[in-house]
Structure 1
Amino acid sequence: MRLSGLQKEVLGLYRQCLRECRKKPEATRAHFKSFARNEFDKNMKVEKKDFAAIEFFLRKGRRQLDMYASPGVKDVAVQ
C-alpha cells in the first residue's frame, strides 16, 4: 500500500515522538510514550480527505514535540 505525503508526515511525526521518548529519564519514558499514543489516537477519526484538519494537527503536534523535547521537561501528565 502506498502512502500519501500527509500520511508519511504523520508517521514521521510519530516516529520523532518515539525517538524523543528515548531521550527522557527511564522512569518517565512510559509516560511520554503513552501521551504520544493518546494524542495520535484522539485524532484517528479525522477523515483522510480533511487536509486542513490533518495539517492543523501536524502543526500542533510539532509544536508539542518541540516543547516536550526540551531537556528541562522530565515528565508529562498522562490523561
Structure 2
Amino acid sequence: MRLSGLQKEVLSLYRQCLRECRKKPEATRMHFRSFARVEFDKNIKIDKRDFGAIEFLLRKGRRQLEMYASPGVKDVRK
C-alpha cells in the first residue's frame, strides 16, 4: 500500500516524537511516549481526505513537539 504525502508527514511526526522521548530522563520517558500515543489516538478517526484538519493537526503537533523537546521540560502529565 502506498502512502500519501500527508500520511508520510503524520508518520514522520510520530517517529520524531518517539525519538525525542529517548532524550528525556529514563524515569519519565513512558509519560512522553504515552502522551504522544494518546494525542495521535485522539484523531485517528479523521477522514484521510480532510486535508485542512490534518494539516492543522500537523502544525499543532509540530509546535507541541518543539515545546516538549526543550531540554528544560523533564516530564509531561495530563
What TM bracket, shorter-length normalisation? over 0.9
Query: Does the alignment pair 1:22 with 2:22?
Result: yes
Query: Does the alignment pair 1:73 with 2:65?
Result: no
Q: CA deviation at 1:33?
A: 0.1
Q: CA deviation at 1:21?
A: 0.1
Q: Map Cα deviations across residues 8-40 of structure 1 (whole Å, 9 max, x no partner).
A: 000000000000000000000000000000000
Report the identity percentage. Answer: 83
Q: CA deviation at 1:64?
A: 0.1
| Partner of residue 46, structure 1 | 46
Partner SS, residue 27 of structure 1: helix
Q: CA deviation at 1:61?
A: 0.1
Structure 1 unaligned segments of length 5 or more: list them.
none
Partner SS, residue 34 of structure 1: helix
Cα RMSD of the aligned pairs, angstroms, is 0.5
Could you tell me how far apart the structure 2 residues matched to 1:48 and 1:19 are? 25
Aligned length: 78
- TM-score, normalised via structure 1 length: 0.98
